[in-house]
Amino acid sequence: MTLKTKRSGALAGLLLAGAFALSACTGGTASAGSTDKPVATPSGTANDVTALRQVSGTAKSRKATPNTGDWATGSDGTPNTADPAVARRWTELRVTKRGDLGKVVVNGARLTLYRFDKDDAEGGVSNCVGECAKTWPPVTVQRGAKVFVAGVPFDKVGSITRPDGTIQLTVGKWPVYRFAKDTKPGDIKGQGVGGTWFAVQPNGEPAGAPQEQAPEQPPVAETEQPTTAPSSPLTATDMILFDDANFSDNGASQGIAGKGCVAVARKQITSSISVRGTAKLWAGPNCTGDVITINGDVLDLAELGFDDKIVSVRLAD
């Protein structure tokens, strides 16, 4: 389905009434079924045990407050403002694709995030301070800030305490930074600088470097219709469905929550999903027809042969 067709469909559809109450970024707690849960960094490591309120989905899909967090910009058009309390209220860690580099992590302003090879990830130490931190601004948040996560495994997100006492986010234990010369989405001018700065992948590894990784095992499409409860328990209680791939905010999104089989309000329009846990996706109503099982976020459903096919989903009972 073309983007134009999707957007036209988005205008015609309505969100599933009462199914999903999205939480705002300021005050209050998430509705039932939300994955807005305090997650402390692992004990026994050098990471600061700061509760980060990780929330599945993007800031836009979760209706973050305008002009705060990663959307708060300074005179150069990039984060942060002169008011750290506003800029550090929340941040976003979203996976997208950057050409030959493949999957990299970006923030809510869609600016590339980087790691520094001279940091001590195991020791939880950032070695970019002073003038270095002006060129490579660390991604900092206030204690208890929301971190919107789409594509980065929740257990890869953590934090350290910098020498000045601020809290810096980590991905795969590596402190993450922006590059001052990246001023618009898609910029990746910091890649490879000094042979020590690299865009960060969702597992914390440097983008563009050879990696020995086991091949990903995509969900296997099933054609049978189960007549009993799934053999493996489903754990997801809610999800965000994005019209476009890569959790793109250029299109629309819709929230799904509930128990068991849940109908999708805007059908056959989803290309990526942010979800914590295991769920089943069905191509027919009432959880019938072709089905696949997913465990965690899906960047592009086309890779699984399920793009624009979802009509209903099965969540944890």
Domains for the chain: give ranges and CATH numbers: 1-23+216-317 (2.60.20.10), 35-199 (no CATH)
CB count in 10 Å sphere of residue 155: 11
State which amino acid sits at residue 239: M
* Residue 232 pLDDT grade (very low, low, confident, very high; cuts 50, 70, 90): low
Given a cut of 60, whether residue 7 has pLDDT beyond it is no
Cα–Cα dist 154/55, whole Å: 9
Contact 61, 274 (CB under 8 A): yes
Q: Which residues 6+ apart lie within 8 Å of 143 measured at CB?
A: 50, 51, 167
Q: Please tell me the predicted confidence (pLDDT) of residue 13.
A: 41
Given a cut of 90, whether residue 83 has pLDDT beyond it is no
25-34 pLDDT, tens digit each: 333 323 323 4
Give the residue-averaged pLDDT of 145-158: 95
pTM: 0.79
Question: Residue 291 forms beta bridges with which residues?
Answer: 222, 282
Cα–Cα dist 113/138, whole Å: 9
Q: Please tell me the predicted confidence (pLDDT) of residue 247.
A: 95
